[in-house]
Chain A
């Protein structure tokens, strides 16, 4: 494949290419953009920027495909590993690698970035070069987060990733963008500080920054609980879990369409990924000890947030709350294992919960991204996100409406779409932990359908509500293309999830084993 050619030619690995290619592309754009923004030379400027951005992001996607095709799904060990010393004094390494958890998330990122570039194709009018550059740099940093196996490297990517995101919301956002950016910043930054402390502690204890070493490190229960809580704050904000979720609706409302898509589709997955990579394997006993907390918060997210979503008047807020409710399934699936073990006495079902959570993350990436794209299509035309400003869109935009209804049904978890797979697996698993857990989780069948389809009824169906809707033009070829690409993902994953289940299986089983083995024995 292409990447192996470059690999052999330049002597650098696939993951490094995936991390640095978009970042360099973004920097290049910044340089190009500045030179083209000279006075008297406007107009054609943006056009080159977006073609460069598209080319870089598509190339990154193409180069990421071998991660899937050459992936050995029979093992849970890290693959495509690159390991170089970075800061020798502190034993910090440039250490990259992927397993069945991170590889699909990287592909999700590389798949969605070109779509985001296309979504901003004509819409972004000011500072196009910087806009696209921010997304490319963000892409590289996000891939870095998923690929990093050195904790400090992970932390650097994790924090650096926030910067382009602030800029995207703060510069190209809506009216209250400053408020939203500040809220976003405070929440996420405050969360990460605790994580840094925990990581340094783990380094002092193990003498290495390797996350895999952390996973094998014996820890006492007190240590584990403190570390778990430190991680929890960082990851819970990102997921986001109730009650540290209130930044998300504001951030979404103010973010430009592309920002919302990446925020919902990839950034929210950082939290879930953190639980898988750090909390569960590093502090299994604390996770087991505090699983009641995690399960409760997850169920609160499903029910409470589901009801809150029902009464939203702003489409983006509604989808944001819907995201939080859906993420509840991720954390529920991840943390339900010990209850299953306690109730049934067997480990059967633990891996199903973990897989269900992973499926929910990937699927939510597609569906929430798609719904934000849909809102973007409408917003670009009428400059309103209020449900009340629409009605009868199907009359003037039939093709667009077909896609929006499809994604709405996927959001409601219709079998045959990806939205079903994660919820189904998690509910199957959670039932083993107790009837009422499953009962509360399954309310999403009703609530999810209620808030999503009620919105569809008010926005898409009905007679033409006003002159604005009457004057709408149906989605353009570019818009239909991006919606169709995501729709292919939603349907493909829903009708045949086996390939994804297979690449994750070994890693899921390994993690299921890790979390059921106490680390207390070796700890002093």
Chain B
């Protein structure tokens, strides 16, 4: 299998290099052929790995590819850990990536950067695979930053747009804030365990949980808590948790296929994956898990509110992504890692679908993204409409759809969690269900139903997208609708993950719930005894009433609660704070240090000061050079006397 693992990683890399370096020679068709072949091969081999791990029950693989360096007795390797968690992620990553590759043929059809785009998305697939397949922290960090790099390149893909190159810089820097914590976490883990390999680190977790570290002198903190919190800062950056969420909405400046692939389905879920991977560590820190829980739940609810006031079709979906990432994170915080990863998987399908559907609408609308200028598109774009509806229903958690299974499971788990913050989190997630349905159906109704608000020019050219665009929509709609049925039993309530995810007995909420689980049908019926499905219906109904039935009311509400609307339109003023305080503050400090420290004090004071001193000394010594021999002789005698005196006294 080792060769297969290596091939899975290398196929997209080689394809990316070929398309990137020889794009001109192989042409557009050559570029998409080679990258689709590369990613397709990865996908098929990943399915093979999943079969091997799941159906054939193969043992987890943990092996080294090569030794990166040996420094100070610490061996740093590049290697793979392939278990069921990895296998699941590999299939999710490669399948969505493959769909996006195909879709891109249609979406980027007229773009001059066609080959470059294919090269980037293949490179991304490579980076994401190295991240999920890593068996050590070094490679994890490599993959972590590499996906960030490709995200940077892709958000700024249209590099002549001023907004795009601001957005990509912002994304990179905010992610770097996360990586800052992440790297410190890795350093602490190395200090505590002496190793960067998962296996060694996980094995010493119980011992590590008894150690303390004094971050503030005299205040011993649990090493495990500090390490997990630092790692989680990294996850907050990558998975866009508040307050490091600010980059994700702006990342929509990138072409839509990468919004689907990177900023919805895969890269942004890296943080969720990482915490699940680190479950053997997080399990030992009640405090860290509480923080994870509260931040996840807060993100889930409060970014959901923002989705309600957005008018750009992609930004609505982006805020929805933020909110859903919050759901996954909250599940992790409740020790329901399996539920979090399960939601990660279903979300990857339905959110990629929603983004690609949005892209299909955007192409049809000639790159108009304002949903206020759409309406009634249902009859012009039948496939897009139907697949988008499936995605929306899955997102809001309509019983039976895959999003329902994953979201309901995780909300229930949070409701049963025993740790601090669980009640708050549960309420956030519940209200979030209503908000999700509200913004999702608001968008859906404004785009596909109601009066046609488009101009005549657009309308004349309106038609369904070509098959390369609609085929991925259909292929993604299938798992969005039904994948929950066969998978919920083993993944969430069964032992699919086995030893890949570690949960302590006392934290095992999913284990408690598993006793009540009696198949998907019973699970759906059972759901109706809880508020979740009713809240979703209520949200959808509210959207219908406000945006289709009685559109005037939405306006009245907006005027009535103008302060709230302003607050939401300004995204809680996070961006203003970052721009005005952090960015401007750093530049101000830089200027201060430069002009005051370097120029005035060091150069002006010391350097030119000593130059003046030398000049003054020269003036004085010129006086000494009188030319009279007796002056010199006198000076020599004095000097000699001083020297002799010093030697005598010193001895």
Residue numbers of A with Cβ under 8 A of B are 183, 186-187, 243, 246, 304-305, 307-312, 344, 348-352, 355-356, 392, 394-395, 409, 414-416, 421, 424-425, 427-432, 435-436, 438-439, 442-443, 445-447, 449-450, 453-454, 457, 460-464, 496-498, 501-502, 505, 508
A353 to B522, CA, bound (A): 59
A462 to B179, CA, bound (A): 27
Given A355-B71, A498-B67, A501-B69: A311 and B587 interface contact (C-beta under 8 Å): yes
Please tell me if B60 contacts chain A, counting CB pairs below 8 Å: no
Residues 163-186 of B at the A interface (beta carbon under 8 Å): 165-166, 169, 172-173, 176-177, 179-180, 183-184, 186
Which residues of chain B are within 8 angstroms of A501 by Cβ–Cβ distance? 69-71
Contact of B183 (CB < 8 Å), options: A416, A442, A453 = A442
10 further A-B pairs in the complex, CB-CB below 8 A; given A416-B145, A462-B160: A246-B602, A310-B586, A311-B594, A351-B72, A355-B71, A428-B191, A431-B187, A442-B183, A450-B173, A505-B70
Residue numbers of B with Cβ under 8 A of A are 66-74, 138, 141-142, 145-146, 149, 152, 156, 159-160, 162, 165-166, 169, 172-173, 176-177, 179-180, 183-184, 186-188, 190-191, 194, 213, 215, 586-587, 589-591, 593-594, 597-598, 602-603, 606-607, 610-611
Given A445-B176, A445-B183, A449-B176: A348 and B611 interface contact (C-beta under 8 Å): no
Which residues of chain B are within 8 angstroms of A416 by Cβ–Cβ distance? 142, 145-146
Interface pairs (23), CB distance under 8 Å: A183-B607, A186-B607, A243-B597, A243-B606, A305-B593, A307-B589, A308-B590, A310-B590, A348-B73, A352-B71, A352-B74, A416-B145, A435-B213, A442-B180, A446-B180, A447-B586, A454-B169, A461-B165, A462-B165, A496-B66, A496-B68, A501-B70, A501-B71
A436 to B184, CA, bound (A): 10
**Which among A310, A352, A395 has the greatest number of chain B C-beta atoms within 10 A?**
A310
A414 to B145, CA, bound (A): 7
**Which among B71, B183, B194, B590 has the greatest number of chain A C-beta atoms within 10 A?**
B71
A304 to B146, CA, bound (A): 28
Whether A431 and B191, one on each chain, are in contact in the complex, defined by CB atoms closer than 8 angstroms, is yes
Which residues of chain A are within 8 angstroms of B590 by Cβ–Cβ distance? 307-311
Given A311-B591, A449-B176, A454-B169: A425 and B71 interface contact (C-beta under 8 Å): yes
Given A307-B593, A463-B160: A450 and B586 interface contact (C-beta under 8 Å): yes
Given A445-B176, A450-B173: A427 and B187 interface contact (C-beta under 8 Å): yes
Which residues of chain B are within 8 angstroms of A344 by Cβ–Cβ distance? 191
Q: Sorted from nearest, which 7 A-B pairs have the closest CB atoms? A: A431-B187, A307-B590, A352-B72, A351-B72, A311-B590, A415-B142, A501-B69
Closest A residue, CB atoms, query B152: A453
Closest A residue, CB atoms, query B599: A246
Which residues of chain A are within 8 angstroms of B162 by Cβ–Cβ distance? 462-463
Shortest beta-carbon distance from B145 to chain A in Å: 5
Whether A445 and B179, one on each chain, are in contact in the complex, defined by CB atoms closer than 8 angstroms, is yes
Shortest beta-carbon distance from B635 to chain A in Å: 22
A502 to B71, CA, bound (A): 8
Shortest beta-carbon distance from A44 to chain B in Å: 37
Whether A246 and B607, one on each chain, are in contact in the complex, defined by CB atoms closer than 8 angstroms, is yes
Closest B residue, CB atoms, query A425: B71
A428 to B193, CA, bound (A): 12
Contact of B191 (CB < 8 Å), options: A309, A394, A432, A498 = A432
Whether A351 and B146, one on each chain, are in contact in the complex, defined by CB atoms closer than 8 angstroms, is no
Which residues of chain A are within 8 angstroms of B71 by Cβ–Cβ distance? 351-352, 355-356, 425, 501, 505
Shortest beta-carbon distance from A222 to chain B in Å: 14
**Which among A187, A246, A430 has the greatest number of chain B C-beta atoms within 10 A?**
A246
A156 to B627, CA, bound (A): 34
Shortest beta-carbon distance from B149 to chain A in Å: 6
A496 to B142, CA, bound (A): 13
Closest B residue, CB atoms, query A502: B70
Whether A308 and B213, one on each chain, are in contact in the complex, defined by CB atoms closer than 8 angstroms, is no
Which residues of chain B are within 8 angstroms of A425 by Cβ–Cβ distance? 71
Closest A residue, CB atoms, query B597: A304
Whether B169 and A453, one on each chain, are in contact in the complex, defined by CB atoms closer than 8 angstroms, is yes
Whether B73 and A308, one on each chain, are in contact in the complex, defined by CB atoms closer than 8 angstroms, is no
Shortest beta-carbon distance from B451 to chain A in Å: 37
Shortest beta-carbon distance from B583 to chain A in Å: 9
Whether A462 and B593, one on each chain, are in contact in the complex, defined by CB atoms closer than 8 angstroms, is no
Given A431-B188, A432-B191, A462-B165: A304 and B593 interface contact (C-beta under 8 Å): yes
A428 to B195, CA, bound (A): 11
Whether B184 and A439, one on each chain, are in contact in the complex, defined by CB atoms closer than 8 angstroms, is yes
Whether B68 and A442, one on each chain, are in contact in the complex, defined by CB atoms closer than 8 angstroms, is no
Whether B187 and A428, one on each chain, are in contact in the complex, defined by CB atoms closer than 8 angstroms, is yes
Which residues of chain B are within 8 angstroms of A350 by Cβ–Cβ distance? 72
Given A243-B606, A355-B71, A502-B70: A395 and B180 interface contact (C-beta under 8 Å): no
A416 to B194, CA, bound (A): 23
A517 to B74, CA, bound (A): 23
Shortest beta-carbon distance from A311 to chain B in Å: 4
A243 to B149, CA, bound (A): 34
Which residues of chain B are within 8 angstroms of A436 by Cβ–Cβ distance? 215
Given A394-B159, A416-B142, A438-B187: A246 and B72 interface contact (C-beta under 8 Å): no
Which residues of chain B are within 8 angstroms of A183 by Cβ–Cβ distance? 607
Closest B residue, CB atoms, query A458: B165
A355 to B71, CA, bound (A): 7
Closest A residue, CB atoms, query B67: A498
Which residues of chain A are within 8 angstroms of B180 by Cβ–Cβ distance? 442-443, 445-446
A312 to B590, CA, bound (A): 9
Shortest beta-carbon distance from B596 to chain A in Å: 11
Given A186-B611, A309-B590, A498-B69: A461 and B602 interface contact (C-beta under 8 Å): no
Which residues of chain B are within 8 angstroms of A430 by Cβ–Cβ distance? 187
Given A310-B587, A457-B165, A462-B160: A415 and B145 interface contact (C-beta under 8 Å): yes
A1 to B156, CA, bound (A): 49
Closest B residue, CB atoms, query A447: B586
Given A431-B187, A435-B215: A348 and B72 interface contact (C-beta under 8 Å): yes
Given A415-B141, A416-B142, A498-B69: A442 and B160 interface contact (C-beta under 8 Å): no
Whether B190 and A428, one on each chain, are in contact in the complex, defined by CB atoms closer than 8 angstroms, is yes
A183 to B599, CA, bound (A): 14
A171 to B237, CA, bound (A): 50
A505 to B141, CA, bound (A): 24
Which residues of chain B are within 8 angstroms of A431 by Cβ–Cβ distance? 184, 187-188, 190-191
Whether A415 and B191, one on each chain, are in contact in the complex, defined by CB atoms closer than 8 angstroms, is no
Shortest beta-carbon distance from B602 to chain A in Å: 5
A307 to B588, CA, bound (A): 9
